[in-house]
A and B are shown apart, each in its own frame.
Chain A
Amino acid sequence: MNLSDLYQKGVSRRNFLVGAGAIGAASVLEGCSNDGTITTAPTSGVTDNDILNFALNLEYLEAEFFLHAATGSGLASADVSGTGTAGSVTGGSQVAGLTAQQQDYVNEIAYTEQQHVRFLRSALGSAAIARPAIDIVNSFNALASAAGIGASFNPYANWDSFLVGSFVFEDVGVTAYSGAAPLISAAGIAAGLLNYAAGIQAVEAYHAGSVRTFITARAIAGGSSYPYLGYANQVSTLRATLGGGNETPLTLPTSTSTPSSIVAANSSNAVGYARTTDQVLHIVYGTAGGAGVKSGAFFPAGLNGTISVTGS
């Protein structure tokens, strides 16, 4: 680990701990009504390409996490070039001890995110941003510490840890696309961009539903000795603190007539949450509310593109 890595690790952890200190505020945020509309003013003055590039940053992150989990290595060099500041990936390794079917499932998600990167890059052409610096090891440790899970967390250690690692990302991706969809211009809609965004959003939600189902089913089978559902909910609480509420924790059903909590949605109307770009940035930067946050956690050098610094 070089000095820069050490510095970033320190920054990430400090940022996450700031977030943890605001957990009291989370309970207030969770009480806020969210009827599926965006409650915080949407980012204004952004172009459709800015929105797609914002999404591309997130897809780079997901692709690197899931590709490493599947194979031990990340995106091909042909899939990471572009405008802005190119960065490297810190951490990531193949998940240990998987059954054949578990491996096939990890392969499916990895393929999904790799192809989403390729799709967005194709749609953006020469406007596509480069992959920024991504941290998928220290970020998880800082997150685990801030969430109260422990001093460190290795999402590549085994299947259950991988599920929690996946949980960190998938619900956020869904809310990010929900928030971005209404920002797309009329011309962009006519050009098919909303269609594409919804196509990616659906797949993110399929994965989110699948991951939450895996964890819930494992918890039902494992009972009180299965800690990972609790870890996932600690992550959810932290995300709520950082990202404006918009969270539905998992539950452990005890009978066929008690509802599970697979879907993350507003409990009053079952409409999925939408997050503003600022709320998403606060989550991936691991830093609680406020303007001017420009890096941290999963993106130690910040995102590339116009939407990279929080405005609130």
Chain B
Amino acid sequence: MANQETKVVDNIIASRRSLLVGGGAALAALALAKPASAAASVTSYTDNDILNFALNLEYLEANFYYLAAFGTTIDKANAASMAAGGPSAGIPITGTGTAGTVTVKANPKVPFKTVTVGSYATETAIEEGKHVLFLQSVLGSYGVAQPAIDLENSFNTLANAAGIAPTFDPFAADADFLIGAYIFEDVGVSAYHGAAPLISTTSSGKTILAAAVGIHAVEAYHAGLVRNSILALDPTGSLGLLGYTQKISATRSTLALQAPQSPANPLDPTPDDYGVSDGVFTVSLAGGANVPRTNVVDATTDYVLGFARSTTEVLNIVTGGGATTAGTPAKGVFFPSGLNGLFV
């Protein structure tokens, strides 16, 4: 066990070093003009348009995890992905709209040191890949192509904006990977949540809704997994990981809430995102007043309901505040050429 623990500590130190290169920066790196919003201008859409919005996000997540776990993009089947339960052929990335490629550093496979984090990455990669395939199967020929995705410069930009470091490599080590995953999962949960009430109430709409809430649940399982793992790796916050989650959450909230939902959504308060912590919040339980609690769940502090985000809010996060002009597609950060589909 000592050997294993030594590896973990080495891993954390290496990770901390890479995260702490340089000092803080400002949100100035990102466009923060009060937006009129692009997606909010969409007034006529179908359930398939909503699913296509989700498919863009699943392309992003699936590629991140495939690269971390297997070192390849999702369209390249390999022995490791197949051994872990992935499809025997590459996942299709073609479809409607403008197809793009993935920008990432050379040899992105994370040199995982811990069985826990490595196995979590492997599981999540397979599941996100299946989400891509599932949405494609539902959408058929209406499905969007994979847009251009940036998994290199994007993390630098976000880390800079969050005041974490000028550069950040989520593929460097176990802890870095968890922080990278942290950036995505809560956003996925809030995106599916926000989209659910947009789905039609027809019979076919109900079928789509059932699937959407099922994927929503899986994203929240992933988010709980990632947040729990970060707390386990840095229980006191002394390694800085809890602080990073809090800065990332604050940045996501700032980006998202440039475009609050209209009409106002009670699940869309300010802030709409909380990092991982222990003892920051105290609560009153029926059997005890003002007891400290962890914050593993990302939810409202009053009734503990998950946050819902509009498509525009989600666009603002994944493009770094790109959804600032009505009618003009959002692009930037993770989607340098924008998303494909109607909600852009």
Partner of A115, one of B1, B207, B220, B302: B302
Partner of B115, one of A70, A177, A214, A255: A255
New A-B pairs, 17, CB < 8 Å, besides A196-B305, A198-B308: A36-B215, A37-B210, A105-B294, A177-B213, A199-B305, A201-B306, A202-B305, A204-B220, A213-B228, A255-B115, A255-B119, A257-B80, A259-B122, A271-B218, A272-B213, A272-B215, A274-B214
Nearest-neighbour CB distance to chain B for A163, whole angstroms, equals 12
Partner of B232, one of A114, A217, A262: A217
Is B209 part of the contact surface with A, judged by Cβ < 8 Å? yes
Residues of A within 8 Å of B122, CB to CB, are: 253, 256-260
Residues of A within 8 Å of B130, CB to CB, are: 268-270
Interface residues of A in 128-183 (CB under 8 A from B): 174, 177-178, 181-182
Is A216 part of the contact surface with B, judged by Cβ < 8 Å? yes
Residues of B within 8 Å of A112, CB to CB, are: 297, 299, 304
Nearest-neighbour CB distance to chain A for B128, whole angstroms, equals 8
**Closest residue to A112 on the B side, CB-wise?**
B304
A74→B304 contact, CB < 8 A: no
Choose, from A10-18, A25-33, A47-55, A187-195, the stretch at the interface: A187-195
Partner of B193, one of A36, A79, A115, A202: A202
A111→B213 contact, CB < 8 A: no
Is A5 part of the contact surface with B, judged by Cβ < 8 Å? no
**Closest residue to B299 on the A side, CB-wise?**
A203
A181→B218 contact, CB < 8 A: no
Is B27 part of the contact surface with A, judged by Cβ < 8 Å? no
**Closest residue to A264 on the B side, CB-wise?**
B221
Q: Which of B210, B221, B227, B287 has the most CB of A within 10 A?
A: B221
Partner of A256, one of B118, B133, B228, B299: B118
Is B184 part of the contact surface with A, judged by Cβ < 8 Å? no
Residues of B within 8 Å of A267, CB to CB, are: 85
What bracket does the count of chain B residues touching chain A fall in?
A: 35 or more
CA distance A67 to B228 in the complex (A): 20
B303→A270 contact, CB < 8 A: no
Residues of B within 8 Å of A86, CB to CB, are: none
Residues of A within 8 Å of B286, CB to CB, are: 67, 71, 73-76, 79, 114
CA distance A30 to B296 in the complex (A): 31
Choose, from B140-148, B277-285, B322-330, the stretch at the interface: B277-285
Binding site for A on B (CB under 8 A): 1, 69, 80, 83-85, 112-124, 126-128, 130-131, 133-134, 137, 189, 192-193, 196-197, 201, 206-207, 209-211, 213-225, 227-229, 231-232, 235, 265-267, 278-279, 283, 285-288, 291-300, 302-308
Nearest-neighbour CB distance to chain B for A310, whole angstroms, equals 21
Name the prevailing secondary structure of the B interface residues.
helix
Q: Which of B196, B206, B286 has the most CB of A within 10 A?
A: B286
Nearest-neighbour CB distance to chain A for B192, whole angstroms, equals 8
B210→A182 contact, CB < 8 A: yes
A195→B308 contact, CB < 8 A: yes
**Known contacts A67-B287, A206-B296, A262-B120: A119-B214 contact under CB 8 Å:** no
A210→B213 contact, CB < 8 A: no
CA distance A70 to B288 in the complex (A): 9
**Known contacts A178-B213, A205-B217: A210-B112 contact under CB 8 Å:** no
| Size of the chain A interface, CB-CB below 8 angstroms | 80
**Known contacts A71-B286, A213-B225, A265-B218: A258-B193 contact under CB 8 Å:** no
A–B Cβ pairs within 8 angstroms, 6 of them: A104-B294, A256-B122, A259-B123, A269-B133, A270-B134, A274-B213
**Known contacts A209-B221, A260-B123: A200-B305 contact under CB 8 Å:** yes
Q: Which of A75, A271, A274 has the most CB of B within 10 A?
A: A271
B308→A253 contact, CB < 8 A: no
A111→B232 contact, CB < 8 A: no
Nearest-neighbour CB distance to chain B for A34, whole angstroms, equals 9
Interface residues of A in 62-104 (CB under 8 A from B): 67, 70-76, 79, 101, 104
B287→A73 contact, CB < 8 A: yes
Residues of B within 8 Å of A174, CB to CB, are: 217, 221
Residues of A within 8 Å of B114, CB to CB, are: 256
Is A225 part of the contact surface with B, judged by Cβ < 8 Å? no
CA distance A213 to B1 in the complex (A): 20
B297→A271 contact, CB < 8 A: no
**Known contacts A104-B278, A201-B217, A272-B217: A119-B197 contact under CB 8 Å:** no
Residues of B within 8 Å of A239, CB to CB, are: none
Nearest-neighbour CB distance to chain B for A41, whole angstroms, equals 13
Residues of A within 8 Å of B223, CB to CB, are: 206, 209
A262→B225 contact, CB < 8 A: yes
A269→B134 contact, CB < 8 A: yes
A195→B217 contact, CB < 8 A: no
Interface residues of A in 214-261 (CB under 8 A from B): 214, 216-217, 220-221, 253-261
Partner of B197, one of A75, A108, A189, A213: A189
Nearest-neighbour CB distance to chain B for A270, whole angstroms, equals 4
Residues of B within 8 Å of A260, CB to CB, are: 116, 119-120, 122-123
Residues of B within 8 Å of A182, CB to CB, are: 206-207, 209-210, 213
Residues of B within 8 Å of A195, CB to CB, are: 193, 196-197, 265, 267, 308
Nearest-neighbour CB distance to chain A for B273, whole angstroms, equals 13
A210→B224 contact, CB < 8 A: yes
Nearest-neighbour CB distance to chain A for B54, whole angstroms, equals 12
